[in-house]
Amino acid sequence: MSAASDLSRRLARNAEAVCRHYLPAGRREGRYWIVGDALGSAGRSLYVRLKGPDHGRGAAGKWTDAATGGHGDLLDLLALNCGHCRLADTLDEAQRFLALPGSEVPEMIDDAPAPVGSPHAARRLFAASRPIGATLAERYLFSRGITGVRTERWLRFHAACWYRPDRDDVASTPAAMPALIAAVTDLDGAIMGVHRTWLDCSGCGKAPVAVPRRAMGKLLGHGVRFGAAGPVMVAGEGIETVLSLRMAMPRLPMIAALSAAHLAAIRFPPPLRRLYVAREEDGAGRAAFGTLVTRATAAGIELLPLESVLDDFNADLCASGTGKLAERLRPQLRTEDYAAFL
């Protein structure tokens, strides 16, 4: 038996003690320990089996996060809880815990998993995530020149967001990684989906996987919103594109639609009278802009393009800073808008 297998078995035989130590906000219900997520947040998404055989179906120590689809044994849970990137660190932590004075702890409520990809699953994932302040997600956005995100209501961080490997991923791709979580909401503020950006452990880039960004839920017509809707707004495809514009115009409400197709279909809030669109200069971006022009004209909404110098506005921000970005935006705005928002 390998050292990892032996430690996993020993942890499973002390599953409740492990949960009480690393997941103290949870509680025992029947044969399970119920908690919010692998970080130990309050909630009912993640459940750990406390009693059962050493291996196979129903084994003690096996856990599942109904919000993310993540699952594994107690070694996996320790790695996520402690933020380890190396197995050696997790094995050291397991040995340290097992050397502590033990406690024998003796039985079921199973939260039914939400349908995969549903708005309900999206809401669970968002609820299981934590505020973005002082997290890898905040560090990641900072590395892209984006600051001041702690007050953004719909941005959060999940330390162990489940990742379904793509066929182009390597065999050793982790099943869960830290991620920036963004809620996709409708006009009434109801969460209809989430967008996930998986991050590497440094927080300075996206995770080295084939598909580091994915969205789920009912997205059509909705988006990630920054600020309350008003008569003048900005819309764009990517979260980082929109957040970059928000660095230069923090008082101007904005929405990230996440793709060209979804940008073309965004629902216009009732107070909207003028919409600036961060235009993407590819085929899909041009088609989306054309569709929006037609829809906006029919709705009596003025639609104006915003064009970046480099590939996108985040590239402009990183290359030149907020001041230069604001200068380049000024001639693209109506006079009353740059007076009010720049």
List, for residues 208-244, the tens digit of each pLDDT value. 999 999 999 999 999 999 999 999 999 999 999 999 9
Entry pTM: 0.68
Write down the architecture of domain 220-342 according to CATH.
Answer: 3-Layer(aba) Sandwich (3.40)
Give the strand order in the sheet containing 254-256: 224-226, 254-256, 232-236, 274-278, 302-306
Return residue ranges of the chain for CATH 3.90.580: 3-98
Asked which of 94-108, 256-270, 323-337 is least confident by mean pLDDT, the reply is: 94-108
- Rounded distance, CA 253 to CA 19, Å? 43
What one-character DSSP code corresponds to residue 252?
S
pLDDT of residue 101: 47
- Counting residues of the chain whose pLDDT is more than 70, the rounded percentage is 95
Note whether 46 and 38 are within 8 A (CB). yes
Tokens 């990809």 sit on residue: 117
Instruction: Please say if the pLDDT value at position 120 is more than 50.
Output: yes
CATH number of 3-98: 3.90.580
**CA 171, chain centre distance (Å):** 23
Q: Which two tokens stand for residue 86?
A: 């190396």
Return residue ranges of the chain for CATH 3.40.1360.10: 220-342
pLDDT of residue 107: 30
Instruction: Please say if the pLDDT value at position 103 is more than 60.
Output: no
